[in-house]
Amino acid sequence: YTNVTNEDDYKIRKDIDEAQSSIKNNNALAIALFDKILQKFPSSPRSLYGKALALDDLADKKRSNEILEKALQLYEKVLKADKVPTALFNLVADRCINRLRFLGQYRRAINFHQLIIDKFPKNPKHLNSLGVTYLTMNRVEDARSVFKQVLTKWPEDGFSLVHYGFILKTADNKFEKAIHYLEKGINTKDEGVIDGRFYFHLGDALARVGRNSDAIKIYEEGTKNKVFLSKYQRSLYNVPRLTANPWWSPKDLPYPNSFQLLTDSWRKIKEEGLAILSETGFFQDESENLKDTGEWKQFELFARGQKNVKNCKKCPFTCSVIDRIPEAKTCRRGQTKFSVMHPGTHVWPHCGPTNCRIRVHLGLKVPPSTFIRVAEDTKSWKDGELLIFDDSFEHEVWHNGTEFRLILIVDVWHPELTPSERHNLSPI
Ligand code: LMR
Ligand code: MN
């Protein structure tokens, strides 16, 4: 512990080490021992830190934000104390920011960031951390200016390079520039740069400027570095053990009654879909920037396992069908929605966010010359029939026909997820 122990703490190191040794196994004992030391040496940095760690651990076990708050106040004391060794300061700074983000207390986190940066303005790590908090808060312009500031002083900083590239790609659609920063950042192999999000957007930027073979290389490299399940399956929120097939057939899924119900109901579902389509303002543009050319809109009925009550009033029959399909209705990692695509549309190759769902398409009005590729196989829809695929695999869609195409998209849980996983996985 020498690099976290200052001169004064060194004199009482035996007591501190003893208290420290019970932090994980006996929070109460550790707290009592640190309290004893703190009575004599109220500003001992390692004792304040040790007590904070014990409280932090206890808060975790008891899921208590009140106890965590006590830990945070002690962390703050360390950050403001005199003669705190740099290594200790860094430990406290990281943990403190981590916990404030966990609590969603971003504004308070920013005050802490400022304090930390003021104390160590020459360490880009602290500025980078502020940039990440801004991104989490969706304050993209603030994040951008922080990363820019880092890169002015430290042009080779990998963490900042990938984040700046990420902003250029996702907020500005500046693909060439984004490629430059993402590539350069990933190549540093610095801590935090080997991350699925950066590989994902680097590959996508390459594909969008027509450098397909370079994109594939990135996807292969990402797979080798374990940020993707495979070069085609690039979802980032995964349960690792699940069977991974690009295309599924109804008989490989344990939902035969649901599929029967959907195909039996297709004409009435189509009628409802067409009725909404004939009114303006209900179908919404696809919002994820996946479209190359054309027009592609959706009308959402269920999302994240919740019914959109307002929209379901417009198509009660379709929603009543989904109500009878528990693996769709409860699918908190997916949606049910009508999807309309107009002639001349091309959707860029893309992957859904999670491998926890299987995407069922029910063809409602399918003109010729419409195609969907999933991984290496291209298929088309048929009226009243199901097309089933895993949308965590790369897929791409074309409409080269002359009339609009209408389908119902129904996400269902991946069949190998247990009831408790279906219950507990975070919604997407
Ligand atoms: C997709 O899931 O990205 C597309 O297949 C949706 C659609 O409307 O074809
Ligand atoms: Mn998709």
pTM for this entry:
0.91
Mean pLDDT of 383-407: 98
pLDDT, residue 28, reads 95
**pLDDT confidence tier of residue 294, bands split at 50, 70 and 90:** very high
Provide the percentage of residues in the chain whose pLDDT is more than 70: 100
Question: What are the DSSP calls for 278-318, one per residue?
Answer: TSSSSSEE--SS-EEES-EEEEEEEETTEE-HHHHHH-HHH
Contacts of 13 (CB under 8 A, 6+ apart): 1, 5
Q: Tell me the C-alpha distance between 279 and 333, whole Å.
A: 29
Measure 397 CA to ligand 2 centroid, in angstroms.
Answer: 9
DSSP state of 78: H
With a Cβ cut-off of 6 Å, ligand 1 is lined by: 339, 341, 359, 372, 391, 395, 397, 407, 409
* DSSP bridge partners of 167: none
Q: What is the pLDDT of residue 286?
A: 87
Mean pLDDT for the chain overall: 97
**For the residues 377-384, what does the mean pLDDT come to?**
98
Give the pLDDT confidence of 233-291 residue by residue, as tens digits.
Answer: 999 999 999 999 999 999 999 999 999 999 999 999 999 999 999 999 999 998 889 99
Q: For ligand 2, an ion, list residues with CB under 5 A.
A: 391
In DSSP notation, 239-259 reads -TTS---SEE-GGGSS-HHHH
For ligand 1, atom 9, the nearest C-alpha belongs to 397
The pLDDT, as a whole number, for residue 329 is 98
Q: What's the one-letter identity of residue 300?
A: E
Degrees (nearest 5) of the Cα angle 238, 240, 246?
75
For the segment 298-304, the average pLDDT, to the nearest whole number, is 98
Q: Let me know: does 321 contact 262? Beta carbons within 8 Å.
A: yes
104-121 residue pLDDT tens = 999 999 999 999 999 999
Residue nearest to ligand 1 atom 4, measured at CA: 397
Average pLDDT over residues 55-81: 96
Index of the ligand 1 atom closest to the CA of residue 339: 8
- The rounded Å distance from CA 329 to ligand 1 centre is 19
Asked if 376 contacts 405 with a C-beta cutoff of 8 angstroms, the reply is no
Task: Kindly report the protein residue whose alpha carbon is nearest to atom 8 of ligand 1.
Answer: 339
Hey, is 398 helix, strand or coil? Answer: strand
User: Tell me, what DSSP letter sits at residue 368?
Assistant: S
Local confidence band at 1 (pLDDT 50, 70, 90 cut-offs): low
- How does residue 299 score in pLDDT terms, banded at 50, 70 and 90? very high
Q: Counting beta carbons within 10 angstroms of the beta carbon of residue 188, is it exposed (0 to 12), middle (13 to 18) or buried (19 or more)? A: middle
pLDDT in tens, 179-231: 999 999 999 999 999 999 999 999 999 999 999 999 999 999 999 999 999 99
Q: Which two tokens stand for residue 241?
A: 């053990």
- Which pLDDT score is estimated for 126? 96
Phi and psi (nearest 5°) for 424? Answer: -105, -20
How close is the Cα of 352 to the center of ligand 2, in Å?
6
Q: Is the pLDDT of residue 2 over 90?
A: no
- Characterize 121-134 residue by residue with b for buried, 16 or more Cβ atoms within 10 angstroms of its Cβ, and e for exposed: eebbbbbbbbbbbb
Q: Tell the residue nearest (CA) to atom 6 of ligand 1.
A: 339
In the reported structure, the alpha carbon of residue 161 is separated from the centroid of ligand 1 by a whole-number distance in angstroms of 33
Give the distance (Å) from ligand 1 centre to CA of residue 75.
48
> Would you state the torsion angle of the CA atoms of residues 12, 15, 17, 19, taken in this order, to the nearest 10 degrees?
-140
Per-residue buried b or exposed e for 371-409, using 16+ beta carbons within 10 Å of the residue's own CB: ebbbbeeeeebeebebbbbbbbbbbbbbbebeebbbbbb
**At CB < 8 A and 24+ separation, what contacts does 189-192 make?**
189/158, 190/157, 190/158, 190/159, 191/158, 191/159, 192/158, 192/159, 192/162
Task: With H, G, I as helix, E, B as strand and everything else as coil, classify residue 359.
Answer: strand
Q: Do residues 62 and 68 make contact, with C-beta atoms less than 8 angstroms apart?
A: no
Residue with CA at minimum distance from ligand 1 atom 2? 391
What's the rounded Cα separation, in Å, for the pair 365 and 417? 32
Residues 6+ apart with CB under 8 A from 209: 175, 176, 179
Identify the CA nearest to 361 among candidates 269, 294, 268, 286. Answer: 269
Number of neighbouring beta carbons within 10 Å of residue 42: 11
**Confidence category of residue 419, pLDDT binned at 50, 70, 90:** very high
